[in-house]
A and B are shown apart, each in its own frame.
Chain A
């Protein structure tokens, strides 16, 4: 391992190239985005023995069930403790009330190992101290259930930032590894189970290990973290989690995000560099999957190349996705909007993004819609509040939320990821063709 060959950087313009120094349009106005509570929709499935108790209003409860309630749950793994006027008037002690609610919940669901108290706008505005409540309840329900807290409020978090806040809350309780232990790799960000398994196999073949994933599928299977931890972010929205890991001495490996063939290669290379894996070995391990990914992408390129795309802000995945669509599928990048731009974590992405790509951070919805209508892009990536209305205006849309709960990372999913964008265009072509009644009359 000592004769590690320096790994060449990706075929990208240098750090100063691409969009590294590009100006960003910052606007303020109505923001058509989800709050961080929505993270519960996928986190409750990822961490199978955790329960998410939102402390908030009926609006919060309504949000979550409107999103998840189309599935029928025999045993839901999320709920809301709804604050009522007695709590607000101080007639009831909020902490006593919360204890009572948690007792009732744990009585019904003794299988819960990890309970998250999730803060909301109302609980933040009335300054209910959920971190102290979590400590108190942890003691009370020790050792069967651990209680943690984070905020998923709209005033503080946007959509995927809810996952960031959740993971950041878990970092302080991760175990400390032996100080003399060999370096370990930690992959951070909720990934689809199948993707996690693929990455685990690739790292094993590359000789990198031990590798742990965070969050784990079981709440008590917590990965250790310390100065010997090297971590790769699998998702771009993990600012606070990364800061918390840094605080415990772990080191982030700067990399693009593992979306598409190029992004996955850059991401794996960053780990190889840190763990001294020779280039030959990397090439040998990744040659076949890279080829498979390229072949799968070639088929989608037929539909996507040359088409223009416009991103409304949603999940912070927009910049890596735009990089993928622009470089690997030949799409023309119109405005790429993101709710929040973490320059350090996205440095490698920005460097790869084609120069001149218009970037925006934050949102003034009506003005952004005006820009979108003026640009008439071939494909609009936006939330579900806008998708059908824009379709009715004659635009083709890809609803953005799907990108957060579909397996899209890694080589084997590169084709699937491209297909998510190609499908609405294919569908429009199909339906428009069938809309010609002549075809059926003549048949």
Chain B
């Protein structure tokens, strides 16, 4: 059993729903208990779809368990096909149905429905949402792509054609990434043959093999299917995810190579303002801001590169919940000289962030909870996300416009330069003080907590002094009152790091307690 305050991914059948909902003319019959229809809300509310997901649930109840749940599944499948007339049917079980072992695949074969049936085996107690989506997409492609339809020989003057693989329902900014990348491919002189799963029909899926190569936008969803297409049709696929300026340029070169076109005109990056914004002097204060990055592997790796190379941040931590892509994240961490955190345990992520004390967290909806608790600015870069990250406005994170969007999104939660300077200078202000939120984020004026005012009585020395005098070399060394007061004069967004460095320094030197001197010794030590 795993204690889970927040889960980074849903169960695998939600991944299957994301594929079914993205596809144009399939239906999914899901053997599931009453209540699992909550997943419809992900699509109708979070993504604000105007139609119900194409999913029929058997919604069995306790009284059904004594009876024939297999018959219930079969009648649901029969009714769904008669009513919705799909061109292919997906069938599978949710976690509870997995326990009662009714075999949806075998049961539907026995029905002779007259359309292709894709039976999904999604182990709910081992795997998760993205794996479920990848497996479902793979099974769909494998069973519905016509292996007789081979890549079309290119006529002189004819544009090369690619498939775009990966965009799905409930994906973080998939809608606008697809638009942005389609434009980019068009500018390169490449036509899009089929986009899948988003919007693909069963008839289109049959022709997947006719494209010259594949563009994989979301490896978490599409890399298994792309691997099969490569083995079956000899279609190569792109490895670079075009997120950030550098990665977009690499992607353009990679596509140009596969397509045999000239990348130069597109490499100019028309409309990309982010590089100039990052170079303008207003951004100088962003240099070496310490950031922690967490998300799915694709977005985390891309964000780390942007943070380090394009924003001038220092990436102090990186991690992912995508175990399937741990290797990629570890490699990225090695390049940054840090250790990757591969975990789907929210508490572990929280502990790591608390330990590293970054000035900015780039994470998921779940890191927003952690950042609120620790009082650290935060921006969302990856699923899981909530309704506010399915915006009405055009908000890609890929391509050149995506780079613009990311610049704005990441800088926004940080305190702006002037305010940051003035807070470092003058600390007694009733309205602007270290424990207030950045003023450009609005909100009510929070009075300065009395304890932070230096004019008052000496502050109560922190618990650590009383708790650890007997064992000065274990745990954090004790802070003396004057050092503790001085620490509070350091702006809040770097105070955590200063505390940590000073304690580290004191422990290294075997000091039993931290004095004012120790604080400045440590500052000098670490500034080298």
Mark A residues whose CB is within 8 Å of B.
30-38, 55, 57-59, 61-63, 65-67, 69-70, 72-76, 79-85, 87-88, 92, 94, 97-98, 100-101, 104-105, 108, 121-122, 124-126, 153-156, 158, 366, 383-389, 391-392
Let me know if B5 and A79 touch, CB within 8 A: yes
CA distance A392 to B51 in the complex (A): 7
Contact of B37 among A74, A124, A385, A388 (CB under 8 A): A385
Residue of B nearest to A74 (CB): B373
User: B467 on the interface (CB 8 Å rule)?
Assistant: no
| Cα–Cα, bound, A33→B34 (Å) | 7
A125 touches B99 (CB 8 A): yes
Q: Residue B512 at the A interface, CB < 8 A?
A: no
Cβ-defined contact, B14 with A35, below 8 A: no
7 contacts between A and B (CB under 8 A): A35-B36, A38-B38, A57-B96, A58-B9, A74-B369, A124-B62, A383-B41
In the complex, chain A residues whose CB is within 8 Å of the CB of B1 = 55, 81-84, 87, 92, 94, 97-98, 100-101
Q: Is B95 an interface residue (CB 8 A)?
A: yes
Stretch at the interface among B124-132, B323-331, B417-425: B124-132
Contact of A388 among B34, B48, B124, B386 (CB under 8 A): B48
State in angstroms the CA–CA spacing of A141 and B224 once bound together. Answer: 48
In the bound complex, do residue A387 and residue B35 qualify as a contact, i.e. CB atoms below 8 Å apart? no
Inside 8 A of B368's CB, which chain A residues have their CB?
72
Interface centre among A55, A62, A72, A83 (most CB of B within 10 A): A62
Given known pairs A66-B38, A80-B4, the reply for A126 and B11 (CB within 8 Å) is no
Near A by CB (< 8 A), chain B positions 9-42 give 9-11, 13-14, 33-38, 40-42
The A interface, classified by DSSP as helix, strand, loop or mixed, is helix
The yes or no answer to B453 lying at the interface (CB within 8 A) is: no
CB–CB B2/A82 < 8 A: yes
Interface of chain B residues 378 through 421 with chain A (CB within 8 A): 384, 386-388
Size range of the chain B interface in the assembly: 35 or more
- What residue in chain B is nearest A94 (Cβ atoms)? B1
User: Is B501 interfacial (CB-CB < 8 Å)?
Assistant: no
Measured between beta carbons, the chain A residues less than 8 angstroms from B369 are 72-74, 76
CB neighbours of A70 from chain B (8 A): 386-388
| A381 and B49 alpha carbons, distance in the complex (Å) | 19
**A58-B62 in contact given A66-B41, A70-B387, A79-B4 (Cβ < 8 Å):** no
Is B40's CB under 8 angstroms from A75's CB?
A: no
CA distance A83 to B2 in the complex (A): 7
Given contacts A58-B7, A88-B125, contact A73 B38 (CB under 8 A): no
- CB nearest neighbor in A for B373: A74
Among A66, A67, A85, A391, the one with the most B-chain Cβ atoms within 10 Å of its Cβ is A66
Q: B60–A58 contact, CB under 8 A?
A: no
| B-side contacts of A121, CB under 8 Å | 33, 35, 95-96
Which of B6, B94, B128, B373 makes the CB contact (< 8 A) with A75?
A: B373
**B residues apposed to A, CB below 8 Å:** 1-7, 9-11, 13-14, 33-38, 40-42, 44-46, 48-52, 56-62, 64-65, 76, 79, 83, 94-96, 99-100, 123-126, 128, 347, 365-366, 368-369, 372-373, 384, 386-388
Complex contacts, A105 vs chain B, CB 8 Å: 3
CA distance A213 to B347 in the complex (A): 36
Contact, CB under 8 Å: A82 / B65? no
CA distance A69 to B387 in the complex (A): 10
Asked if B34 and A125 make an inter-chain contact with CB atoms under 8 angstroms apart, the answer reads no
Residue contact B65 to A67, C-beta cutoff 8 Å: no
Q: How far is the CA of A229 from the CA of B366 in the complex (A)?
A: 45
Contacting pair B37 A31 (CB below 8 A): yes
| Given A80-B4, A388-B45, 5 more pairs with CB closer than 8 A | A34-B35, A59-B36, A62-B10, A80-B3, A386-B52
Question: Contacts of A74 on B, CB cut-off 8 Å?
Answer: 369, 372-373
Identify which of B14, B365, B366, B387 contacts A62 (C-beta below 8 A).
B14
Nearest opposing residue in chain A for B37, CB measure: A32
Q: A155-B60, A389-B52, A392-B51 are in contact. Are A58 and B124 (CB under 8 A)?
A: yes
In the complex, A29→B38 CA distance in Å?
16
Residues in B neighbouring A81, C-beta threshold 8 A = 1-4
> Smallest Cβ distance from B57 to chain A, in angstroms?
6
| Cβ 8 A contact of A80, one of B7, B35, B51, B94 | B7
Partner of A58, one of B34, B56, B95: B95
Q: Is the CB of B96 within 8 A of A108?
A: no
- Chain B positions within 8 Å of A80 at CB level: 3-4, 7
Closest to B388 in A: A70
